[in-house]
Amino acid sequence: MTAKQTEILTFMNQTIVEENGTPVKFESVLHETNLDSFGYTVLFLELDNKYNIFKDVAENEDPFKTIDWENITVKEVINRCL
């Protein structure tokens, strides 16, 4: 893992814990956070605010519909941030 990936993972885990979830590892599947739907929303809005993760989503498209919620990995989320 690069320093930037570690930074993003640390930021993610801080937000996850604040939302009463379980911290994850780089290799984890995101649902292992045990966040509820509000927690996921907060996590992704925070990530977008800091890392602009939805930069490749069309302006008229719902960014949350571009995510495969059951299968997305932490690595994939981090890569969207880079």
The total domain count for the chain is 1
Residue 4 pLDDT grade (very low, low, confident, very high; cuts 50, 70, 90): very high
Instruction: List the domain range (segments joined by +) for residue 29.
Output: 3-81
Residue with tokens 């929303």: 41
C-alpha to C-alpha distance for 50 and 44, rounded to whole angstroms:
10
Q: What is the pLDDT of residue 28?
A: 97
Instruction: Name the H helices within 1-82.
Output: 3-18, 37-51, 74-81
Segment 27-47, tens digit of pLDDT? 999 999 999 999 999 999 999
Rg of the chain on CA atoms, in Å: 12
* Global pTM value: 0.88
C-alpha to C-alpha distance for 55 and 18, rounded to whole angstroms:
25
> Percent of the chain beyond pLDDT 90?
78
- Does residue 67 have a pLDDT over 90? no
- Does residue 61 have a pLDDT over 80? no
